[in-house]
Structure 1
Amino acid sequence: MEPFRKPFFVDPLFPFQIIHKTVKLPQFELPDHLHDLYELVYIYQGTGTFFIDKTLYDQKPGDLFIIPGNTIHRSIPDEANPILSTAVFFAPALAGTGTYEDSYSLLQCFDRARKRKSYKLELPDSLRAAIESMLTFIQEENRGRQHHYRAAIRLELGRLLLQVNRHLAEQLTAQSPEQKRGPSWIVETLHEIDAHPERPYSLVSFAEKAAVSEAHFSRAFKQFTGMNVTDYVNAKRIIRAKELLLETDDSVAAVAEKCGFASIPHFHRMFKAFTGSTPTSYRKANQ
């Protein structure tokens, strides 16, 4: 039987979701499933079994499960001692497109989990307290939605991943010389779109530049960002359009042209699809 592909209805400009401190009962758990978003699952209480990529793992308090996108998994909590857990879902691009010193990236733990086919971490008490505190902070920001809450969530998620990666570096002796978040051509493509969202991009041109097939480029791009190329470009264009609408006196038509939209009707459709309002209404509401 084919695994179920779990859908997510998240803001394409902020592909993130948290399900905080929920009790997991076996009768309500999904069967074998997968999804494009990356997932972290932290266990507070209870026991059970986690099936991830053909392997069964015991679940107990203090365990952190690191599940890369499109990895088949299923949670099987004990009925007598159900699991209390927090699950965080996000697109890899949310953690940033750059690397740091020594080719470090925030998604190092996911890369390592996939490469080693080992998806469980047993956290020490000191790290458990830190992770629980950070998850609570993320939940409060996501629920309160104060000004710049998305930036706060992104930063705290990065701090959480940094702590996990440091713990792995201390615990695992075998270190690969480079830890990359993805193929260099994906990173270069994201940088190019971020810098110039107005340009007339296409899947064909991206695939040719990367010297890979269109199908492979499309599959890798969606796994990395959670979006297809067209949606990602449009999302970046709308982000730029929102900035121009609030920071300049340009007409809506001029903003549409500067952001790469070929027609005003298309700009209006895309803007409303991503923001829920028209460009004019957005400008009036936020000035």
Structure 2
Amino acid sequence: MEPFRKPFYGDPLFPFHIIHRTVKFPQNELPDHLHDFYELVYIHEGSGSFFIDKTLYTKKTGNLFIIPGNTVHHSIPDETNPIISTAVFFAPALADAGTYDDSYSLLQCFDFARKHKHFKFEIPDFLRGTIEDAMEVIHDENLRQQQGYRTAIRLELGKLLLQLNRYLNPQFTNQVLDNKIGPSWIKNALFEIDANPERPYSLASFADIASVSESHFSRVFKQFTGMNLTDYVNAKRIIRAKELLLISDENVSNIAEMCGFTSIPHFHRIFKTLTNTTPSAYRKNR
């Protein structure tokens, strides 16, 4: 039986999801499944088992499970002592975008877990509070959604991953890790799109530059960003359009053209899909 591919819904501009301190019962758990998002699972209370990539792990208070994207897994909570856990899901680009030091990645712990097929970590008492506090802040920001909440979540998630990497690094068996999550051609494509979202991009041209097939480029790109190429480019264009609507006096038609949209109706449709409002209303309300 093929594993179930779990979908994630929500804002495509912010590929993130959290399920905070929920009680897990066996009858409510998914069967074998996988997803593009990276996942952190922290066990607050309870006991049970966790099947991850052909290995069965026991679960207990203080365990942290680090699950890279597209890893088959399913949870088996104990019926008499059910698990209370927090799960954080995110596209890797959310944590790794804007890296300033090429020798380090916040996603180092996921790279280690994938390479060494080691997904369970015992967290000492002194670090449990840090993890629980970070997840509480992330949950609160996601729930309240006040101004800047996405930035707050990214910062808190980054701090959490940094603390985990620093603690887990000695456990990486002193092996030299390739800290660059994802091939360089994916990062090059992301930097290019981020810098110039208005340019006419195509899957064929990116695949040709990377010397890979279009299907391979598309698959890896979606694993890393949580979106296909077209959706990602459109999302970056809308981000640019929102900035221009607020800081310039250009009319909507000119802004659409400056952001790479050749059709005003298309610009309006994409803007409304991603923001739930029209460009003119967005400018007026802000």
Name the TM-score class by shorter chain.
over 0.9
2:221 maps to which residue?
A: 221
How do 1:1-150 residues align onto structure 2 when only pairs under 5 Å count? 1-101=1-101, 103-150=103-150
Q: Partner of 2:192: helix, strand, or coil?
A: helix
In the TM superposition, what is the alpha-carbon distance from 1:100 to its structure 2 partner?
4.7
Native 8 Å contact 2:112 2:177 kept in 1:
no
The aligned amino acid for 1:75 is: S
1:272 maps to which residue?
A: 272
Native 8 Å contact 1:98 1:187 kept in 2:
no
CA 1:106 to 1:208, structure 2 compared with 1: closer, same or farther past 3 Å?
same
The aligned amino acid for 1:62 is: G
Matched, 1:211 2:211: yes
1:155 maps to which residue?
A: 155
Q: Partner of 1:103: helix, strand, or coil?
A: coil
Percent identity over the alignment is: 70
Query: Hey, what's the Cα distance between the residues in 2 that align with 1:101 and 1:198?
Result: 27
How do 1:177-196 residues align onto structure 2 when only pairs under 5 Å count? 178-196=178-196
Native 8 Å contact 2:102 2:180 kept in 1:
no
RMSD: 1.0
Query: Hey, what's the Cα distance between the residues in 2 that align with 1:102 and 1:151?
Result: 22
Matched, 1:236 2:236: yes
Q: Partner of 1:58: helix, strand, or coil?
A: strand
Query: Hey, what's the Cα distance between the residues in 1 that align with 2:111 and 2:124?
Result: 22
Which 5+ residue runs of structure 1 have no aligned equivalent?
Answer: none
2:257 maps to which residue?
A: 257
Name the count of aligned residue pairs.
Answer: 286
Q: Partner of 2:137: helix, strand, or coil?
A: helix
Query: Hey, what's the Cα distance between the residues in 2 that align with 1:102 and 1:183?
Result: 12
Native 8 Å contact 1:53 1:73 kept in 2:
yes
Query: Hey, what's the Cα distance between the residues in 2 that align with 1:84 and 1:172?
Result: 28
Q: Partner of 1:152: helix, strand, or coil?
A: helix
CA 1:232 to 1:103, structure 2 compared with 1: closer, same or farther past 3 Å?
same
The aligned amino acid for 1:28 is: N
In the TM superposition, what is the alpha-carbon distance from 1:102 to its structure 2 partner?
6.3
Q: Show structure 1 runs of 4+ deviating over 4 A.
A: none
Q: TM-score, normalised by structure 2?
A: 0.98
2:197 maps to which residue?
A: 197
Q: TM-score, normalised by structure 1?
A: 0.98
Query: What whole-Å deviation, never above 9, does each CA across 1:163-187 have from its counterpart, x for those lacking one?
Result: 1111111233322154111100000
Which 5+ residue runs of structure 2 have no aligned equivalent?
Answer: none
